[in-house]
Amino acid sequence: MNNIFSSKETFKEALRAEVSARFGRDLEDAYDEERYLALGALIRDHAGNSWKLTKKSVRANGTKQLYYFSMEFLMGRLMVNNLMNMGIYDVVRDGLADLGLDIHNLEELECDAGLGNGGLGRLAACFLDSLASLNLAGNGNCIRYHYGLFKQEIVNDEQVEKPDCWLRLGNVWEVWKPQHAVQVKFGGTLDAYMDQFGHFHSHHNPAFVVRAVPYDVPIVGYNTPTTNTLRLWDAEVDEESVQAGVLNKYLNDVQALTANVYPDDSTYEGKELRLKQEYFFVCAGVDQLIHNHLRVYGSLDNLAEKTAIQLNDTHPVLVIPELMRVLMDDYDYDWDQAWDIVTRTVAYTNHTIMAEALERWPQEMMRSLLPRVYMIIEEIERRFHYEVQHAGKEHMFPAMSILSNNQVNMANLAVVGSHSVNGVAKIHSEILINDVMASFASFYPGRFNNKTNGVTHRRWLVYSNPQLTELLKKYIGDSFIKHPEDLEKLMAYVDDPKLQEEFFEVKLERKKILAAYVKEHLGIEVDVNTIFDCQSKRLHAYKRQLMNIFHIMYLYLRMKQDPNYRITPTTYFFSAKAAPGYALAKEIIKLIVKVANRINGDPQVSQYMKVVFIPNYSVSIAELLINAADVSEQISTAGKEASGTGNMKYMMNGALTLGTLDGANVEIVDCVGFENAKIFGLKVEDIECIRRENSYDVWRIYHSNPKLRMVIDSLRNCTWSENPNEFQLIFNDLMLHKDEFFVLADFDAYLMAHADVSAWYADKPAWARAMLVNIAKSGYFSSDRTIREYAKEIWGLDEIKFTRQERLEAGCTVDDEEDAA
């Protein structure tokens, strides 16, 4: 194959030809959008060759494959990532420059694929990058939502949700595969009967049938031919299945199925549409993997040996009964054989211990929407109950039952039907084992394990922070790109004044880039010589953005009272979306924006502090914000944040963690030492103790702490808004509903932690050293490490094999190390 990216000249020629063929124009006369679409098509087609090599190798060698089922994939943009991973970025940039085009302008035309809420969806995206880069056959399975979560705008100081039309220009990366469409059936009735041999049969007469049509997105690894697939399922009408007289309703129902991402990652109200979405992509994904397997092996007996399924949280848990259904009803396995195959194939990742976020569905809804699947769940429950009784553990059953209180408990179904259950950070897995799922952990010892999350250091360091990457290469070479643990080599230089100075220059450069964005889009001037203190993540009470803004309110009020009280100049950045129905979270955004307006407009105080709320937090905003940060705010109530991954991205770019001992913060301090982070506040044990003793008294704290009282009073005395009732929900949540997340309890410790950080910042060599240590120790938090652990300990995956010739054909470097391997 002749590789058009092998030289600038061939690339330019190909781009001209592509624009001409697609749009009937010369490149010079084309619109930027047309150039972008042509470029995207060339890159995608180039990935096609590696895609083919990967599929061939997997099939020829019988390589075990992973299917990662996730309701969310927060991919962000793919242009830079793909060009860099394929090693053709420079050729394309230089070729475009020859043509008088700036690659950055084309990059900016790509819409973020925001097919998710936040951390959970971004984890899935990081995992795909690591799987491909580590030569593992791992495919994503999700829904092709027509709209992303939502586009957040701030209007009159409040969040407004606009549609996120990410498909406006189409999606240059996807390939439509109508030939692989699958029928998905909902509702209706089930006829069950026994045949003359006593075998159970059922016939489903569905009320609603749609065609699931796949769109495949190639996922290219770093410097390897390995190219996996992210399969996004879209819903289309099934011509044969429309009942007379209801055509319009049918069309609407089909449309609604894949219209948008469910905009809430914390609670699940009984939303039938969401359950339909879950079954839709589960059913289609299972059908696909069964067919792939049969094509290669001709039998499903060895499914578990050749296929691993990972469930990213409980949203895809219907995989368990669905796979049972297919094995029994379509392929005549009996229950025990089918159950053995299913449980050896499926593994489950738990992402939350917050009771209100554990997914439950009304039994009646599940029974009427998915009659056969529900029947199988009942049988799973019956047999599991028998197993528990037989083991003499009946007393433990209520805590483990799948069906209770007229609900289907999806987490319990996930544990019963899989061979591995993992938490996402050490402390989270411990809480699962010792507390939330203690009964299961003792009933199934060995099933529970931990896999601490990670983020792909390629996107979050190498590609989004080229300035830092260049500096690192200068000191420690480029081996860390392939082997992130090599970042540790930087430890030899952390005291080097030259490196420290060069690092500050890089940080300053990144701050200038962020400041320019803020100036252009928000009209706010920020001083790049101030501390950049950042909190970016979904808006949620447990993440305590409220405590952050309270601290800022306190500093402002104090400076207004006392002209001699002045702080180290700091710019506070927030970026966060609130679920549209989450009134308290939206009120907190309003408070942040109103406080920002007041402070930024105050000439006395704004030289010392500014507050910036960047709307529409997304992967692209994160790529701009995180690498400019000095301080990373990770201040959740201890025990509530399962892991966090934002904390890892910040650390990788040198920001110091100002945080509680929660989630992966615990492991971050394990790596860098307490002297290279600022840890404060109540620990999990402290909070348990307060709860047990029922000793939390918000009014006592209010009356005994004048600083806090000043802040809380300011919510209702027209300091930030003319309307004294503007922040009533916040006030009530803290003072009348007893401050569930201990904002008041941790407030003083948080103030002191901030004061310590400011003092630390003044000592430039100490500060630089700490930042560099954070970078040096961040290799552990690469998702490459996480994926290696999953592959070895849960999935049993081996690497895809390529010949030297194939590697060369795919344009990869063939170095000595790989030859030896």
Of 92 and 468, which CB lies nearer to ligand PLP in the complex structure?
468
| Cα–Cα distance, 509 to 703 (Å, whole number) | 46
Chain center to CA of 646: 10
Percent composition of the chain: helix, strand, coil (DSSP 3-state, to 5) = 55, 15, 30
- 72-101: which residues touch ligand PLP (CB under 6 A)? 74
The β-bridge partners of 218 are: 229
DSSP reduced 3-state for 38: helix
456 is catalytic: no
Cβ nearer to ligand PLP, comparing 95 with 454: 454
Angle at 245 between CA 244 and CA 248, to 5 degrees: 115
- Decide if 209 contacts 238 (C-beta within 8 A): yes
* Smallest distance, ligand PLP to C-beta of residue 787, A: 17
Q: State the Cα–Cα distance between residues 165 and 150, nearest whole angstrom.
A: 9
Q: Which is nearer to ligand PLP, 144 or 537 (CB)?
A: 537
Q: Which residue of the set 325, 543, 640, 777 is catalytic?
A: 543
144: closest CA among 84, 226, 58, 211?
211
> Which of residues 95, 644, 681, 779 is near ligand PLP by CB under 6 A?
644
**How far is Cα of residue 551 from the mean position of the Cα atoms in its chain?**
28
Which residue of this chain has its Cβ atom nearest to ligand PLP in the complex? Answer: 646
703 is catalytic: no
**Contact set for ligand PLP, span 242-301 (CB under 6 A):** none
Catalytic entry in 64, 447, 538, 777: 538
User: Binding to ligand PLP by residue 70, rule CB under 6 A?
Assistant: no
Told to check if 645 binds ligand PLP by CB under 6 A, we report yes
Helices (H), 601-672: 619-625, 646-652, 665-672
Complex with ligand PLP: residue 397 or 542, whichever CB lies closer: 542
Residue among 44, 306, 640, 649 flagged as catalytic: 649
Check binding of 119 to ligand PLP (CB under 6 A).
Answer: yes
Nearest distance in Å: CB 721, ligand PLP: 28
Residue whose CB is less far from ligand PLP, 89 or 617: 617
E-strand spans in 221-328?
Answer: 227-237, 307-312
Half-sphere CA count of 352, side-chain side, radius 13 A:
19
Among residues 338 and 614, whose Cβ is nearest to ligand PLP? 614
**738 flagged as catalytic:** no
Q: Which is nearer to ligand PLP, 95 or 646 (CB)?
A: 646
Q: How far is the CB of 616 from ligand PLP (least distance, A)?
A: 10
Q: Which residue has the tokens 């952390």?
A: 494
Among 417, 454, 646, 681, binds ligand PLP (CB under 6 A): 646
Q: Please state the closest distance from residue 646 (CB atom) to ligand PLP, in A.
A: 3
The whole-angstrom separation of Cα 586 and Cα 591 is: 9
User: Residue 531: in which H helix or E strand, if any?
Assistant: strand 531-536
Query: Under DSSP, is residue 231 helix (H, G, I), strand (E, B) or coil?
Result: strand
Phi, psi dihedral angles at 451 (to 5 degrees): -135, 100
Rounded to 10 deg, the angle between the 665-672 and 764-776 helix axes is 110
Binding mask 400-439 for ligand PLP (x = CB under 6 A): ----------------------------------------
Which CB atom, from 118 or from 454, has the smaller least distance to ligand PLP? 118
Question: Which residue's CB is nearer to ligand PLP, number 254 or number 534?
Answer: 534
Instruction: Give the nearest distance from C-beta 649 to ligand PLP in angstroms.
Output: 6
Active-site option among 144, 306, 351, 640: 351
| Catalytic residue status for 291 | no
**Least distance in angstroms from the C-beta of 618 to ligand PLP:** 5
CA 686/CA 638 separation, integer angstroms:
9
Give least dist CB 680 to ligand PLP, A: 17
The distance of closest approach from Cβ of residue 806 to ligand PLP in the complex, given in angstroms and rounded to an integer, is: 34
- Opening angle at CA 116, ends 592 and 645, nearest 5: 70
Catalytic residue among 63, 226, 229, 645: 645
How far apart CA 488 and CA 120 sit, in angstroms, is 28
Instruction: Candidates 122, 144, 325, 451: give the one binding ligand PLP (CB under 6 A).
Output: 122
404 sits in which H/E element = strand 403-404
Site string for ligand PLP, 649-668 (x = CB under 6 A): x-------------------
Taking residues 529 to 558 in sequence order and writing x for each that binds ligand PLP by CB under 6 A, - otherwise, the string is --------xx--------------------
Instruction: Say if strands 208-220 and 182-186 run parallel, antiparallel, or are unpaired.
Output: antiparallel
Cα gap 400→709, rounded to integer Å:
44
Residue 645 designated active-site: yes
Q: H or E segment at 67?
A: strand 65-69
Rounded to whole angstroms, the Cα distance separating 781 from 663 reads 13
User: Is 807 among the residues that bind ligand PLP (CB under 6 A)?
Assistant: no
How far CA 488 is from CA of 243, 456, 773, in Å, comes to 64, 17, 8
Alpha carbon distance, N-terminus to C-terminus of the chain: 26
Q: Which of 40, 95, 118, 214 binds ligand PLP (CB under 6 A)?
A: 118
Cβ 645 to ligand PLP shortest distance, Å: 4
Binding residue count for ligand PLP, defined by CB under 6 A: 14
**C-beta separation of 582 from 264 below 8 A:** yes
Position 769: which residue type?
A: R
Closer by beta carbon to ligand PLP, 122 or else 510: 122
113 touching ligand PLP, by CB under 6 A: no
Segment 604 to 643, residues that bind ligand PLP, using CB under 6 A: 617-619, 622
For the CB of residue 641, give the shortest distance to ligand PLP in the complex, in Å.
7
Residues contacting 437, CB < 8 A, separation 6+: 350, 411, 415, 421, 448
State the catalytic residue, choosing from 537, 594, 678, 769.
Answer: 537
Residues in CB range of 79: below 8 A, 6 or more apart: 39, 40, 43, 106, 107, 110
Q: How far is the CB of 432 from ligand PLP (least distance, A)?
A: 18
For the question of residue 8 being annotated catalytic, the response is: no
Q: Site residues (CB under 6 A) for ligand PLP?
A: 74, 118-119, 122, 537-538, 617-619, 622, 644-646, 649
The residues assigned a catalytic role are 351, 537-538, 543, 645, 649
